[in-house]
Structures are given as structure tokens and as C-alpha cells.
Amino acid sequence: MFTTRPTLQGTFGMVSSTHWLASQTAMAVLEDGGNAYDAAVAGAFVLHVVEPHLNGPAGEVPILLAPAGGEVRVLCGQGVAPAGASVAHYRGLGLDLVPGTGPLAAAVPGAFDAWMLLLRDHGTKDLADVLKYAIGYAEHGHAPVERVGQTVETVRELFETEWTSSAEVYLPGGRPPRPGELFRNPRLAATWKRLLAQTEGAGDREARIEAAREVWRRGFIAEALVRQAQRPTLDTSGEHHTGTLTADDLAGWSATYETPVTYDWNGWTVCKAGPWSQGPVFLQQLALLPPELPPYGSADYVHLLVEGCKLAMADREAWYGDAAEVPLADLLSEPYNAERRTLIGDKASYELRPGSPGGRSPRLSAHAHRSAADPGAYDALGVGEPTVATSPASPVPGEPEVGADGATCGDTCHIDVVDRWGNMIAATPSGGWLQSNPVVPELGFPLGTRLQMTWLEEGLPNALTPGRRPRTTLTPSIALRDGEPVMAFGTPGGDQQDQWQVHFFLAVALRESVRGGLDLQGAVDAPNWHNDAFPGSFYPRGMRPGSVTVESRFAPAVVAELRRRGHDVTVGEPWSEGRLCAVARDPRTGVLSAAANPRGMQGYAVGR
């Protein structure tokens, strides 16, 4: 099969990420004797520097890790809602939705602490050894990808008139970052240098990492984050608001380990984060599949997967979150999904149809009810990921554009690593985008906006609730065969993540292997699609019932048949759907593999 790139194979180590500098940084750590976890931490901090429109240190990250010979674990780097972030408080401000930008949308930052916990418990390198790459690129500069400057240009007026600390970093000399010219963030470099200086004398490797966690929670970083949260800031509501984040919120939270949610399908076991993430939606889509599938890539096949996704996403809307009990066992049970499967007919559904697991009655937000009842009112609003505030005069964001190169105005990152010892990791860093909040002047990076995914309505599993996590879209994956971890994968893409990942996984699982291993690159390259037939997770929470967006590489006959079945089909650019990364290990031979997304021309896999 023709692929845009080869599936890399070797025995020493493999990395795949959404930016070549992060991939090569992680590989450099492997070459220096580090393991997969050291490498992932170093690569992640480089992603903060080179993809600041896609993630930052004050964002969030769910991590799946499979230590050699150990059990797969989830490391939750999704922070909770601050103690003052209640539905009553936001309603009292006259809000129906959490704004898509600004400090009111900021959860307790989770990414930094998660990476520190990973390094402490599973890494071998010192903190200075993994931070030096990010410090170097921030201090001495890197040639930015085109989308960084394009994103800054969309918020130029906002930066120049309101978020002036952001203009100081991202509009040096009045110009946004440009490809081919070195772009620097000296404030970020200074932050990490100061952190290292303050932790240098703390003791051994683990003690220094613990000291860094304390600086983030209670030291100069925490103080700067709280000051920023308390500054009145223009957000997507069109008003200036202060946030709810306090010093106690920062001091009282830490990343945690959890047991993954799993589902067995055709000899595979897929591991995902819990229902505070999008992860179980992937598993439900597998559970909804019939025993026999239509031919891969056919109209019957696409129709089946789209309609199954709609049912899984409807269940997410009604049942998934961190603010109420989630009947996960029932949602993934065979009887429940066999019953749900009967709802998939020959025609496209235009209804939001959550189920009743265990006889429970589903409850949707008022916004979701309005969206489903009057889709025209919400069709023009943003769907997908994430918010870009346009200007002070026009604070309501438009839908993020997907360009011909597959890049978006704002999104997420991903990194996968497997090392020669068999350690494996998949992580999806996001949030803290340059367009989400003003840059914290003392630190060089902004707060995140993940609370925009919650509902301002009491009693829902995803209601804004102090001390509870917003239901994130972030959803890395690890897959096992016969109990052995064999593949780590994931993608940016908001609500599209577990759509694109299901298609990728099935492409791997259903198609013939190439060159004696998993055809990772072929599965990454395969034509992809998504639908928006459910309330979007990002402000302003739009939806498009009946929608399917497909790459133009699909055969015209497939598109025509989908339309005949009633799907509202949008034919996009040929390389515009999916931004997957993947690494794999064959436990029988020890051969490692990797592949990366060609869409957007910045994701790369490296290895040997």
C-alpha cells in the first residue's frame, strides 16, 4: 500500500508527536540513556514552547502509561474547578455558559504537576536534564510553524488593546511570529531557570522534583497565577471578569493515578481514561459494532460508524462527567449496547438519543435540548475545538477553521513513546493556549480554559462543581493484545479525537499487516471523517445534526450513497481529518514501530 511516509521500525526506541522538535527532543533523551517517561516529559515541555497555540504549562494532560512488566495506569493531569467556581456564582454574573476565554474558564492547572509526578515515579533523569531542551528553544529561539503566527494574527487587536502582556510576548516589534525567523519566549525560559535555581539544593533527584511541585503550588509560580486570575479580563461574554482560582486551590490539588477503563474487542483490549474524559466514548463505539462489519471504507462502513458514534456521544452528553455517578458498567455492557445497536437504521439520524442504562432516565442540559430542538439556532456557532476570541469589539469566536494543510486555529498536542525496555506512554497535552487567557507577565504563559466544557445547570454529571473535573475531550489510548501492551496512540481534535482514533484503530485491526508488523502509517494516512451531531464541548457549544465531514479522497460513490441515506455531507480538503500519532511494540520480536500524521506538515515520528 502507498503511504505518505514509511512505518518506522527498529529496536532502540520510537517517538511520535505533533511537532518534529518535540519528537527529536524525546529521541535525544532516549539516546542519552533515558527511558520513555523521561523522553515524554522533555518532549512535552518542548511542545509548550513550539506549539503555544495548542498547549501550555498551565493547561492539562491525561497520560496513559504501560511500564514494562507492569499494569497500565492513567495519570490524571486534569485539574478541578476551584472552590469558588459554582453554578450560582456564574449565574449571578448573568451567564448561561462558561465563557470560552478568560479567567472564569480556568480550572486548577494540571499539566505541570502530572509531568512532575511521572518524572518522579517512572523517570530516571534529573529535572534539569529534561527541561534544558525547552529552556533552550524558549531562550535562543525556534523557527515557528506558520499556524502560530496565523493564530496570533486572529487575536492581534485583542492583544494590542486588552491582553497587552500577550502582545509583549507574541507581537514583538508589532509583528507575530513568522516561519523562518527565530521566535523567543525569554520570560518562559526565565521561569524554568528560576524554578531550577530554587530547587537545586533540595536534595536528591526525587526531592528536587518534589521541590518543583511545591514552587508550582505555593511559590512564585502559584503567586503569579493567582494574581493573573484576579485581574479583570475581557472574555467571550463581552464583559470583563475576574476568575475564581485561589492560592488554596493551587496548594490543595495534585495529579493522581487511576485504573484505566477497558474494553475487549476481537482479541484487543483498549485502555482509556475514565468518564471525566472522552475515553469511554471510544469503548462504547466498539461495543456498538455488530459481529460482522461491512467492507472497510465502504458507505455501509462509514454509515455504521457515524451512527454508532452519535449514540455514544449522546450517552456522553447525558451520563459522562465527574460531578455525578456514571453507570459505566451498564454503558459498556453487551445487553445495553445490543439494544442500542437496534437504533441504527439505513438512514441518518438527526436526533440526540441518549439511552437509559440500568433503567435510569437520561437528563440533558437545557442548552442541549435547545440545540436538538432548533439546530438552526446553533448551526452557525462554533463546534469542534477550541475558542479563538476575535477582538474586543467582537468577542464571540468563530468556528475554528480547518485549512487545506489540515491545521486549525487552535487545538491540542499529542506524544507517544516506546523504549527498548518496553515502557510505553501516550499523552495528550492541551489547554493554556496563547489565545485562551492573557500571558501571565511574570511567567510567559497563560492560564487554561477547560471549565468552558461544564454546564451551568445543577445536577448534571458535567455540571460546574467545585472540586470536580470538567469533562475533558482529551483521550490518549493504549491497546493490548493477549494482555501485552502493543500500541500507544492518540490525536488532537477536541470532540473529534475518539472519532478519528476509532477509525485509526479499526484500520490497524482490520487491514492486512505490512512489512511484518502493524501498518501504522497506512492507518494514519487512511481517509478519515467526523460528525458534529451533538453539543460541542467548547464555547459556544454548537452542533450540526446529521452532519458528516469527509476528506475528498473518499470515492464519489461513497459520498453519494451517504447523501442518499440522508447524511448532511461536507466534502473537505483531501488531508484535513485526523492528526494521529502512534507507536507500537511487537512483544514476540521486540520490534518497535512508529507513524505520524502528514496532515499539517508538522507531526513527525523518529526512531531507530
The four Cα atoms 428, 431, 434, 435 give a dihedral, to 10 degrees, of 120
Q: At 402, is the secondary structure helix, strand, or coil? A: strand
C-alpha cell at 473: 475531550
Predicted structure pTM score? 0.94
- The tens digit of pLDDT for each residue in 575-589 reads 999 999 999 999 999
pLDDT at 382: 47
- In this structure, are residues 583 and 13 in contact, taking their beta carbons and an 8 Å threshold? no
Q: 514: how many CB neighbours lie within 10 A of its CB?
A: 15
CA distances from 140 to 56, 80, 115, 133, 135 (A): 19, 35, 24, 10, 8
Identify the band that residue 411 occupies on the pLDDT scale cut at 50, 70 and 90. Answer: confident
What is the identity of the amino acid at 446?
Answer: P
Cβ neighbours of 383 (radius 10 Å): 27
Dihedral over Cα of 133, 138, 140, 142: its sign:
positive
Tell whether the model's pLDDT for residue 209 goes beyond 80: yes
Look at 17 and 2; give whichever has higher pLDDT.
17
The full 3-state SS of 298-312, as one line of letters, equals CHHHHHHHHHHHHHH
Distance of alpha carbon 355 from alpha carbon 143, whole angstroms = 49
pLDDT recorded at residue 600 = 85
- Using one digit for the tens of pLDDT, what is the confidence trace for 101-119? 999 999 999 999 999 999 9
Using one digit for the tens of pLDDT, what is the confidence trace for 321-378?
Answer: 999 999 999 999 999 999 999 999 999 999 999 999 999 999 999 888 776 666 555 4
Distance, in Å, from the CA atom of 600 to the CA atom of 51, rounded to the nearest integer, reads 13
Integer Rg of the chain from CA = 22
Which pLDDT score is estimated for 371?
65
Type and span of the H or E element at 211 = helix 205-218
Confidence of residue 545 (pLDDT cuts 50, 70, 90): very high
Rounded to an integer, the average pLDDT of 239-250 is 98
Phi first, then psi: give them for residue 583, nearest 5 degrees: -130, 160
φ, ψ for residue 564 (rounded to 5)? -60, -30
